[in-house]
Chain A
Amino acid sequence: DAGVTQSPTHLIKTRGQQVTLRCSPKSGHDTVSWYQQALGQGPQFIFQYYEEEERQRGNFPDRFSGHQFPNYSSELNVNALLLGDSALYLCASSYRDGSYEQYFGPGTRLTVT
């Protein structure tokens, strides 16, 4: 049973560019959440997708957007990249059964230069 997978593993972008990160949830999961983890800090919630809609959003600007596909996979898009966007981006999947257990992928390390 494959767990949560993310691609790419690492990414280097220049300020002002746009980036797309991808996530495939654990088998049987229907909800995907995205988190930003800056170096030495805890993950910060960006947003959550369920039934192809954004259901909750953290304190992140509109430059951060996402999408969920019918197969439950998800994309995170960041426009107009800033140096401060450099971080590990984590995807977590879960099933809306009330257990509130989220399973995390290995993350995508984004470096903005």
Chain B
Amino acid sequence: GNSVTQMEGPVTLSEEAFLTINCTYTATGYPSLFWYVQYPGEGLQLLLKATKADDKGSNKGFEATYRKETTSFHLEKGSVQVSDSAVYFCALSEIGYGQNFVFGPGTRLSVLP
């Protein structure tokens, strides 16, 4: 079945540092790929998405590129802020009738001032 693997962390960075959170996936079809963020005590918020190979999703300074050849969707940000501290989930969605998300285990990011 489909699955998502991501670096589990926790990841601790200083403010303005470069961020990479690795995500790889296994899928039988052609999934859409997503990054969600969860702040303490809250539900999940969509951060960015990509629906086909070589698409780049971007939002709030975060970027991720859908790499079919390496089955990866790594999240990057050039300069993190304290407010970026949260848990980040990589996810995939099956294409076709019906949709459900398969999530990775999440990566906790802490950014220190």
Contact = CB atoms under 8 A, between A and B. Distances in A.
Contacts of B35: none
Size class of the A contact interface (CB-based, 8 Å): 20 to 34
Given A42-B105, A48-B98, A94-B99, A101 B46 contact: yes
B103 A42 contact: yes
Given A100-B32, A100-B99, A101-B49, A42 B104 contact: yes
Interface of B: 4, 32, 36, 42-46, 49, 51, 89, 91, 93, 95, 98-106
Interface of A: 4, 31, 33, 35, 40-45, 48, 50, 55-56, 58, 90, 92, 94, 100-107
22 contacts: A33-B100, A40-B106, A41-B106, A42-B89, A42-B105, A43-B44, A43-B103, A44-B103, A45-B100, A45-B102, A48-B100, A56-B98, A56-B99, A58-B100, A100-B32, A100-B49, A100-B93, A100-B95, A101-B49, A102-B93, A104-B44, A107-B43
